[in-house]
Structure 1
């Protein structure tokens, strides 16, 4: 039993007062001889035993009343943290480091409140107790201290806790916390979770979280420290997307970027400003203010930026004016090119010279100029094409190319003089896996069996080809269905392109075997549901397969310039974007690089602060573990230490950033899908029991001390005292006794 006010037990010495009165009262009697008393002696002797018994009962009741009063004032209770009587505790602190913890409630952020509360809880731990500190978002990480019994180290660790760009999930932190607590030697275990108690942290893996909390309840004391105001609704705008519409990024151009922002809060927000940076340089002319966004609504703004240098450029979009900074930025690696080089492999039209091959429509869509009038423009244009016949193409033609078009190109059969050479097909598969793009258009020379054997065997078909084609008439042709386009695909759902699609007419469509799983997906269908365009990701590259011809032999899809040019632009922008080294990732993703040369070691270059100049040497570096390669596989370097949004690079030790690979890491937007905090009653319902929940603030230390006793017994002692006094009064009245 624990006494919160043990000095009050001194009041129990008042029990001597009724004892003294009892014996003093007896001492006042003096024997006096009196003759009539002889007649009363017999009656007195008969009742003396009853009188003594009544007096002893009254004495006991009065003494017990004073003892109960003293105990009640001393505030007795049972020490729940030390059931065996040992005062030491193994404590584990779990900090929610998701970026909602950076929201402000008043003058301080929630993570600052969490640190203050943790230091207060640390002061309540008995001597020789241990403490371990974990960070937790969607993964848990032990922060320290080096010695679990060193409180000074623990204070330093707590003060150094920082938020990440990850989303909330309490399960990893609770799991590791229980394991850490049970690794200690003290019989009492306490786990403290410092968080704004965001709903999604409990509901993302609701069943597993409930089971883990029940397990912790059976083995330790689980206490949630609420570090935010559940009544406060955070105003927040997230940047959900930034893309180039119908534009292929190349040098010496000013490119429009369409930015999509979403109000994830519960109330409308006004006056949000959107700005753009390219390689750390702000584009001041294109700061746009959004006057009003309703709750749950999206808004789009267009910003433009000049692309001056070729290579991987870092695009950053920022918003200002909401209550949470964690998702106020979106990064994207944009591959800027001086030239885009395309190889066109096509048979000539029947009875026509090779110069009039079946790639004419594709070339016109790629380079939309007249060959005679605009020769100077063609030579200066950023897209270069090279045409070659299928039977004459060689593997060295792929050198320096970005995209390959196979237009009605026959796969080689038994005739060594027909179709694509096997060596070229083998090199083409390597080209795609390395990040190249491949576009396949059909025609009369595309035979299902040969294509399945040659290209299917090389892993370059989204679906196996079925024998035969679907036929239509000029009066009732097949028509592409714009509504069938996968919204996340390369083709997009952008007007007026989708309106132009309805003008295309097709007379033949090759059959695809959709029932055979091959890693592909259909991007667009005809209005009667036939698969028209399919794709398959192969390594770092992608294959786009048209089940119709890309000339006029099977329809009029490519002969309409208003349709052919934007569709080709989408394809080229998408396929060249896949070849950008590094790329865009989400916080917590694993960054992987296959370096072209070996090095004694590699480093992860972390983000520079916003506003720093690109040349500033402010980016910290972390040595990465030695890379390993499986037998027959390339050497790869990997790290999962990209927890904060920004620009990262993997480079050889000591090498400049340009010698490695660059990654853009964005916040995990799952964090702001629902910013509501869970209430005490909701948490009780979700877990199946009422956990201890303490609000961070000035009374945290006192609240923790009181919670450490599993309910004081003071009210029971006072209730017992009340009944005792009532019983004593009734007994005294019946006996004719009083104080």
Structure 2
């Protein structure tokens, strides 16, 4: 127990001696009374003497308690469940788990999460620094494997730790709390024999970090079982509104210089109220572009808007999106790198007579030499291919109504797909089912158990005609061309012939994108490795007699758009922007086993500043990117053309500042005996549990005793009755 005004005890408690003196003097006060029946009075006093003495002692005790309680109430006593000062003479290991994920940078209305957390930790370190028997271990959630440990007699270490705390800032990681708690468990188990261990979990307690709550509570309970007293220190009391940029990426396209690049930006509203005035500022290679107006976003929802950028020169180009300042700054910026080229090549392998099938695709991809669409179609016949062909220089390969391929080419094509290439197969009248089923669709890489594409061609069929068109599309991006104002063109599609296939199971790797009106599969997608394959069971080339053509797709006004979307979709994996999340390993972005040393540089003020080097083949030694921004990876001594730029972004999920339901966390921790206190309380009052209820309680008890003293005083004949006679 402690007192807010302990000096009052030294002043008030001596007054109790005065109460005793006054009481004794009153007992000596006598008043002579003449009474005839004196013998009867003396006998009555002898019989009731014990009761009279008891009333006198009770009266004295009541008066003493009234004075004592009044003094104690004025001194404002307080009971503390936990105080640092109570540990002054103990041997203690303090293990501090500090949540430094970027949600801790919350500076919304009335919130200073990081400042409160650092102040609380600094108090623990400062207290331990004054006592030789105390040790401090600091575990940051962003660096679980690198705890700061300061021994009891290491005064310089404690000073250094406090200096680091004062200069530290939250990381840009979405660092989970559970691994840090598990690391604290190991430190607590390794505490010196006989030492008291206290673990402080200093966090903002966001819902995404502690849910599922049962796992978090289990980790805390395990920490208790290591012998530690656990304190949950909360740094945030309310959910502040926050907007987060969750995506900035290019839409599928050629990615060529001189051609507009369509991009999309997505903003999430992590607040509890709608937002109506979100505005995203766009910069291209450091130069401002028109802002993108997002409009209204409901709570917990996202809004996506599209915009265009244009770069005249090939090479890597940088696009940055920024929101206005709000509770969290780390998630207000998003970065994207566009590796543009002069043009993207598409290989059209045509097996039809006179190039009938490739002509419509070539015309759609590049109508004339003067019009820069970013595409460069190249038309060849099947016999011009060889297994040694360099397919990687093509963004996509179209196999159009061919009968067969030279030996080994099918295997080379599927290897190309698995490396991220795009393959389109149009099976028409020239398709040989035996070759397709045995080679093209059944190609197996060495050691693989499954065939390339789980399809088997059966035969050519003439499906029945249907009103409203012969094709039924889906919500796949390829068929956006038939949505909106162009929806009427779907009813104009005519399919005269198609290749039927044996029944197959659809799954995540193989699915039907479009069907004939009869229900037969018409367009099928298959994922293989990092690439994509799309199979169309009809063709688009036109014969002199229209009813002899397999379809009329190439005659529709939307066909050029469909062909462009198809090429872009197939090539998307190969030209996807190079991106990483803060904290990811560089080995995920750089070719493992590179034959040259690697240098990582970060773009700062318009120039690349080197931050780390790694010897050849030792990518694991490179530090993970700790901040969002633009980074360059270069192979030292290699052709500068091999340098690659990467956009590193924060994990947008950390921008969700929702807290657990009121009292949900507190009740769950209370069931295992772990108190929840605020960082402000720990830093300012060393663990007081709020205003003490003792002073008002003592005052009420003193008032009750005072009333009891009056009753006893009357019964003990120290007060006069209304008639003027002493009470008996």
TM tier, smaller = 0.7 to 0.9
1:338 and 2:347 are equivalent in the alignment:
no
Distance apart, 1:147 and its partner CA: 1.6
How do 1:60-459 residues align onto structure 2 when only pairs under 5 Å count? 60-72=61-73, 73=75, 75-77=77-79, 79-80=81-82, 90-105=93-108, 110-116=113-119, 118-119=121-122, 127=131, 128-136=133-141, 141=144, 144-147=147-150, 150-167=157-174, 170-177=177-184, 180=187, 184=191, 186-187=195-196, 189-195=198-204, 197-202=205-210, 204-212=211-219, 220-227=229-236, 229-230=238-239, 233-234=241-242, 236=243, 238=245, 240-244=247-251, 247-261=253-267, 265=271, 266-270=273-277, 272-277=279-284, 280-282=285-287, 284=288, 286-288=289-291, 290=293, 292-295=295-298, 296=301, 298=303, 300-310=305-315, 312-320=316-324, 324-349=328-353, 356=355, 358-369=357-368, 377=370, 382-390=375-383, 393-398=386-391, 400-410=393-403, 419-422=405-408, 424-443=409-428, 444-447=431-434, 449-451=437-439, 454-455=442-443
On the 8 A contact 2:350/2:379 being kept in 1, the answer is no
Which residue does 1:505 correspond to in 2? 494
On the 8 A contact 1:182/1:189 being kept in 2, the answer is no
TM-score, reference length from structure 2: 0.77
1:543 and 2:533 are equivalent in the alignment:
yes
How do 1:36-51 residues align onto structure 2 when only pairs under 5 Å count? 44-51=45-52
On the 8 A contact 2:230/2:674 being kept in 1, the answer is no
Which residue does 2:559 correspond to in 1? 564
The whole-number CA distance in structure 2 between the counterparts of 1:146 and 1:214 is 23
Distance apart, 1:395 and its partner CA: 1.8
- How big is the alpha-carbon RMSD for the aligned residues of Structure 1 and Structure 2? 4.8
Which residue does 2:470 correspond to in 1? 479
1:730 and 2:718 are equivalent in the alignment:
no
Distance apart, 1:511 and its partner CA: 2.3
CA distance 1:654–1:436, shift in 2 (3 Å): same
CA distance 1:107–1:702, shift in 2 (3 Å): closer
TM-score, reference length from structure 1: 0.76
Q: Deviations over 1:321-349 (max 9, x none)?
A: 76654333332332322242333334343
Q: Deviations over 1:166-205 (max 9, x none)?
A: 558554455555555565455352424342x544444x43
Question: What's the secondary structure of 1:427's corresponding residue?
Answer: helix
Question: What's the secondary structure of 1:559's corresponding residue?
Answer: helix
The whole-number CA distance in structure 1 between the counterparts of 2:383 and 2:427 is 14
Distance apart, 1:75 and its partner CA: 1.4
The whole-number CA distance in structure 2 between the counterparts of 1:243 and 1:493 is 22
On the 8 A contact 1:239/1:328 being kept in 2, the answer is no
The whole-number CA distance in structure 2 between the counterparts of 1:504 and 1:723 is 95
On the 8 A contact 2:317/2:340 being kept in 1, the answer is yes
User: Structure 1: where are the runs of 5+ without partners?
Assistant: 350-354, 370-375, 412-418, 629-635
The whole-number CA distance in structure 1 between the counterparts of 2:599 and 2:212 is 34
Moved more, 646-655 or 562-571: 646-655
On the 8 A contact 1:595/1:637 being kept in 2, the answer is no
Distance apart, 1:86 and its partner CA: 6.2
Q: Deviations over 1:349-376 (max 9, x none)?
A: 3xxxxx536534443333334xxxxxx5
CA distance 1:357–1:303, shift in 2 (3 Å): closer
Distance apart, 1:272 and its partner CA: 1.9
On the 8 A contact 2:343/2:375 being kept in 1, the answer is yes
Q: Deviations over 1:445-471 (max 9, x none)?
A: 244631477325677967411452584
